[in-house]
Amino acid sequence: MSRDVQACEPHATDAELDDLRTRLAAARLPEAETVRRSERGPRRWDQGVPLADLAAVVDYWRTGYDWRSFEARLHRIGQFRTTVDGLGIHFLHRRSARADATPLILTHGWPGSVAEFTEVVDELADPADAAAPAFHVVVPSLPGFGYSDKPATTGWGIEKIAAAWVELMGRLGYRRFAAHGGDWGGVLTTVLGGRFPAQVLGIHTTLAQAPPGLTTDGLTAAERAWAEDTRAFWLHRAAYAKQQATRPQTIGYSLVDSPVGLLAWILDKFAEWTDTEDSPFETISRDRILDDVTLYWLTRTGASSARIYYESHQSLDPDLRVDVPSAITVYPRDIEKCPRPWARERYRRIVRWRSPDAGGHFPSLEVPGYFVRDLQEGLAAVLAAGR
């Protein structure tokens, strides 16, 4: 490992946690939504997070949630920092005990964080099944997220971040590696595969990105429905992205000053983007979601994380092509579902394609068992194709 990499153990002070509980106790909540319904279902969330649901989570956050447990989990995995292009990058690093392990970088998105992967790192590094592939797992915090530094200037978009990931992996001694991601992590994984074929063995993504301008001619009915669902999402349910792409500083004041505002902003996405009928807590525990939200709160990254939209929203090079082996999994309740014929226009060597029956935008939290198996099998296919 390079001397430029240092171990670290970020630690919230008791005063910071006391301040959080004090703010939660003093929260001013609005009146209830005007679409209140007795029956459970997605329509209950038509105006956003229902008051009763938010109040219950706020109470648990104040009285029951244990941040120290999550902090200890990060420490057990192993935390490090290094500086790339003047910016401090935080990352988790779990080396496998297996001699045949492959380096793997996992990249989160928004409103995710390294918290998305803490429950799956051990099984990826040292799988219970000896026949499954093993990985040296690296999970960086995106610039402006978590314990990574906040960029003080513009320019930290997807291309620069991808180059920083290559530099990071090199410093760890990983000259060639595989990559996985979803959401922004999926976009970055596509850039890694397209721009750095000499370093990237292959990729696995849950967010395939088709080139623009493709038509639905020739698509099956199911594929056409995917395309229509994705178009409807960007037309009618993506106000958050437009806000963060155009005015990240403005929304950032609320997200950094109010823990309840931050919770509502993030919980809304967990509710809408998971494979559930009513509440995200049908598949993800309150503790796992609060791990993520509390990390945003303690690091004051509500504004800085939003700026990735200002830097990179709809900025993926339309001409970028990925020639390294690629495995793609499209979960049924994800917000963007790319038809396979469209994906083939960018990813030239798709060696495995899966569309499971369950799961949404946060599969490592929603269906962790399936997610790990799918990642193992997908990357095994990728590595076999590259030999």
Secondary structure string (H, E, C) spanning 265-314: HHHHHHHHHCCCCCCHHHCCCHHHHHHHHHHHHHHCCHHHHHHHHHHHCC
Q: DSSP states of 21-48 as a string?
A: HHHHHT----PPPTT--SS-SGGGGTTS
pLDDT recorded at residue 305: 98
Decide if 364 contacts 116 (C-beta within 8 A).
Answer: yes
Query: Which residue reads 């609005």 in tokens?
Result: 30
pLDDT recorded at residue 43: 82
pTM, to two decimals:
0.97
If you ran DSSP here, which 8-state letter would residue 82 be given? E
Q: How far apart are CA 101 and CA 121, in angstroms?
A: 13
Query: Which residue reads 């990925």 in tokens?
Result: 322
Secondary structure (3-state) at 90: strand
pLDDT recorded at residue 37: 72
pLDDT recorded at residue 386: 84
Decide if 146 contacts 154 (C-beta within 8 A).
Answer: no
pLDDT recorded at residue 1: 63
Pair type for strands 6-7 and 79-84: antiparallel
Q: How far apart are CA 91 and CA 89, in angstroms?
A: 7
Which residues does 260 contact at the CB level (< 8 Å), separation at least 6? Answer: 23, 24, 27, 29, 54, 58
Q: How far apart are CA 250 and CA 252, in angstroms?
A: 5
Secondary structure (3-state) at 23: helix
Q: How far apart are CA 172 and CA 185, in angstroms?
A: 20
How are strands ordered across the β-sheet holding 135-140? 6-7, 79-84, 87-94, 135-140, 102-107, 177-181, 200-205, 326-329, 350-354
Torsion of CA 298, 158, 209, 266, to 10 degrees: 10
pLDDT one digit per residue (tens) for the chain, 387 residues: 667 999 999 999 999 999 999 999 999 999 999 987 767 777 899 999 999 999 999 999 999 999 999 999 999 999 999 999 999 999 999 999 999 999 999 999 999 999 999 999 999 999 999 999 999 999 999 999 999 999 999 999 999 999 999 999 999 999 999 999 999 999 999 999 999 999 999 999 999 999 999 999 999 999 999 999 999 999 999 999 999 999 999 999 999 999 999 999 999 999 999 999 999 999 999 999 999 999 999 999 999 999 999 999 989 999 999 999 999 999 999 999 999 999 999 999 999 999 999 999 999 999 999 999 999 999 999 999 987
CA distances from 281 to 71, 272, 276, 277 (A): 22, 12, 8, 10
Decide if 135 contacts 102 (C-beta within 8 A).
Answer: yes
CATH architecture type of domain 6-386: 3-Layer(aba) Sandwich (3.40)
Q: Is the peptide bond before 111 cis (omega within 30 degrees of 0)?
A: yes
